[in-house]
Structure 1
């Protein structure tokens, strides 16, 4: 390769690294911007050519291998699906997962800091906007102080906010920081944590608590008595403060209690519908445990089951649970392939070869939990988030283990372990 071409490719690779970070920044702010950045990354990535030069290495990456199995099962599932049009629509919705091999060529251990910081800045901007709406200072169409995120965006926003908070907690506890910087991080964390409970996403609030417990477990893993004491005192205190200070949180908790108590008498509620979806999906899995109903037949199969068990309830194309959706479509092999991706991420983190191993452990815990509340792997923003984090946290090069040990990965400072 001539020197000018090598320089040009290196420059293009750096541009792609920045664009990948900007895509993450746009995730909570603008779907259109995410799409624009994704298209640019595809085009520039194809031109730059690392994906081809490193194809064997990338395809051998365990996360790419397990993702390939998951996607291949969806293609194979077309063989026993009656609705081929629906099957191809499902495959079309999975296109974003195909970005993982390309994104793996657009990040390096030394770029992780920048790309995660851009994600944090995007989440902070979204939190600031929703906080101003909640305070009735900023007036935007489609939002109000009672509903500070657009329509049902809280389903996506709050889980991503929980992940951003964990990244900051990781920085606070496992980085070398000056006192002023530590104070700044505490203020930043306090703001995002407060925003978590003035917005409406219950899934995000639950996974926030789980990630905080995970942080405490990492900090006090050899002091179980102290850990149990902190959990016994801290969790009720946080819940009580959130309940007393946030009308939105108080209202959502009351709504859950009311809808659970009314289940069986009045099922056409947010919680009631989710329970009905889960029950009917479980019946479908029991009838088709080995290979499912096929990639494109969920809608038809669910409608038939709904008519048998709960004909007064509406049909759905999403049981609001990634595990149930995958098992209805593809049976036990689909579930195994799905879990294999997250097991692969967990094993990479458990090896502790990377300074960010705690993040590598936390991400599959985070994503595995939220998938019990919705089909987040198929949702647009969280599907892109999975691919972004998969590339940034788990990327490998020929010398990645050596680079990861020495690279500066600190979010706030070029010191310490950081991310």
Structure 2
């Protein structure tokens, strides 16, 4: 019996719960730095989970979480869509991508509250290394990967990197408002915040730059409630950050002027711009939805549906944008869900975000509540400009922070059950 227990709970004399913790740290640290490490972590987490066994107990815990049940339903809906997807190979791609979400189950079921700050610190350290490399490219100290002076993103696309930077920036900004850190700690946090925010506006990723606006507004309302000083803080922060960025960053200045040009092109009927194409996708997606309202066209047929809609209807001003639209996704996570999974998929996704926000509001740890709320704000805002669940890096950061929220939901449910049974 002792040998069985030792095999079950240890590997190479290391407790399995410690192995989970080390894996969580490695996942958080390496996530901004390597695609391969994300895939490796999936393999290691799943292997450890299978080795550990005890699936009956795990299943009982999963059933108590509305979030985990909702994630499962979304995945089953994607699997069901294979039945009516004509492009089976593309549909399987999304089946594989959503399978990454299994890490939420594994991390949430093995997380401990005292791990969370350490895991976030590991993530921030990974981002620090990524930024160090990016600034080296900006300053012409070295060349690295796909990074350039115009798009200093060493390991991922500039849009994805802007989201990582926005999340890092708001975590640091929020810590500056807390009383739990010493002056020396806040000085280090402030310098890191400056470098992160500077990096965000030196890159060409407008998604993170815009999402940060919403996060800053929510952060001040969360910390100071609806008071006059809150509005003053918001105004001063946004003016300071965005005016400095506009005047000091040629990249940000250029991208902001491009927005003005995009709208002027729209007024003249030209949709072949970054903003114009996104608006065009809303119009095309609505037409697809009207013809496939309940369950969509299937996970694999979004591209086919977009092309058929563009071909069979006369959209006039879309002519110049058609070539790009016919070979790309809808540049919006919610539009992609509507196209692929219809109203049923959209309602399930909205329900997931509702559950996330409801759980966050019940968290008693003030800093954790703020960080998780601000993450959801940034991610939710970013979903309107890009399909974040269809790319490895943005899936990985989703997994990490949503695992924290799901852990808290499981913990809250467990405490509620204890109260019902009168257990101290």
1:221-264 CA-partner distances (Å, limit 9, x unpaired) = 141x2222333343233221111111111111122222332235
Q: Contact (CA 8 Å) 2:297, 2:305: kept in 1 or not? A: yes
The number of residue pairs the alignment matches comes to: 402
- State how far apart, in whole Å, the 1-side matches of 2:46 and 2:340 are: 29
User: Partner residue of 1:186?
Assistant: 190
Local SS of the residue matching 2:10: helix
- State how far apart, in whole Å, the 1-side matches of 2:105 and 2:9 are: 23
Corresponding position: 1:383 with 2:395:
yes
Q: Relative to structure 1, is the Cα distance of residues 173 and 80 closer, same or farther in structure 2, using a 3 angstrom cutoff?
A: same
Larger CA deviation: 2-11 vs 192-201: 2-11
Mapping for residues 358-369 of structure 1, pairs under 5 Å: 358-369=370-381
TM-score calculated relative to the size of structure 1: 0.88
Distance apart, 1:213 and its partner CA: 1.2
Local SS of the residue matching 1:105: helix
- State how far apart, in whole Å, the 1-side matches of 2:60 and 2:182 are: 43
Q: 1:340 aligns with which of 337, 348, 351?
A: 351
Q: 1:4 aligns with which of 3, 6, 13?
A: 6
Q: Contact (CA 8 Å) 1:51, 1:102: kept in 2 or not? A: no
Q: Contact (CA 8 Å) 2:20, 2:110: kept in 1 or not? A: yes
Larger CA deviation: 131-140 vs 79-88: 79-88
1:375-403 CA-partner distances (Å, limit 9, x unpaired) = 10221111121112121343159767899
C-alpha RMSD of matched pairs (Å): 2.5
Higher helix share: 2
Q: Contact (CA 8 Å) 2:64, 2:413: kept in 1 or not? A: no
Q: Relative to structure 1, is the Cα distance of residues 151 and 47 closer, same or farther in structure 2, using a 3 angstrom cutoff?
A: closer
- State how far apart, in whole Å, the 2-side matches of 1:131 and 1:38 are: 30
User: Partner residue of 2:85?
Assistant: 81
User: Partner residue of 2:420?
Assistant: none
Q: Relative to structure 1, is the Cα distance of residues 50 and 388 closer, same or farther in structure 2, using a 3 angstrom cutoff?
A: farther
Corresponding position: 1:235 with 2:246:
no
1:345-366 CA-partner distances (Å, limit 9, x unpaired) = 1111112344422223223222
Larger CA deviation: 213-222 vs 164-173: 164-173
Q: Contact (CA 8 Å) 2:134, 2:154: kept in 1 or not? A: no
1:29-65 CA-partner distances (Å, limit 9, x unpaired) = 1111221222122212221336553221123212101
Larger CA deviation: 229-238 vs 10-19: 229-238
Q: 1:44 aligns with which of 30, 44, 48?
A: 48
- State how far apart, in whole Å, the 2-side matches of 1:210 and 1:119 are: 22
User: Partner residue of 2:225?
Assistant: 221
Q: Relative to structure 1, is the Cα distance of residues 394 and 176 closer, same or farther in structure 2, using a 3 angstrom cutoff?
A: same
Distance apart, 1:26 and its partner CA: 1.6
Q: Contact (CA 8 Å) 1:87, 1:296: kept in 2 or not? A: yes
User: Partner residue of 2:421?
Assistant: none
Q: Relative to structure 1, is the Cα distance of residues 6 and 70 closer, same or farther in structure 2, using a 3 angstrom cutoff?
A: closer
User: Partner residue of 1:319?
Assistant: 330
Local SS of the residue matching 1:214: helix
- State how far apart, in whole Å, the 1-side matches of 2:347 and 2:87 are: 24
TM-score calculated relative to the size of structure 2: 0.87
1:311-335 CA-partner distances (Å, limit 9, x unpaired) = 5512034101010010111211111
Gaps of 5+ in 2: 416-424
Larger CA deviation: 69-78 vs 305-314: 305-314
Mapping for residues 245-394 of structure 1, pairs under 5 Å: 245-263=248-266, 265-307=269-311, 308=313, 309=315, 310=318, 313-314=322-323, 315-355=326-366, 356-394=368-406
- State how far apart, in whole Å, the 1-side matches of 2:158 and 2:362 are: 34
Q: Contact (CA 8 Å) 1:281, 1:302: kept in 2 or not? A: yes
Gaps of 5+ in 1: 404-419
Distance apart, 1:103 and its partner CA: 2.1
Q: Contact (CA 8 Å) 1:136, 1:144: kept in 2 or not? A: no
Corresponding position: 1:135 with 2:144:
no
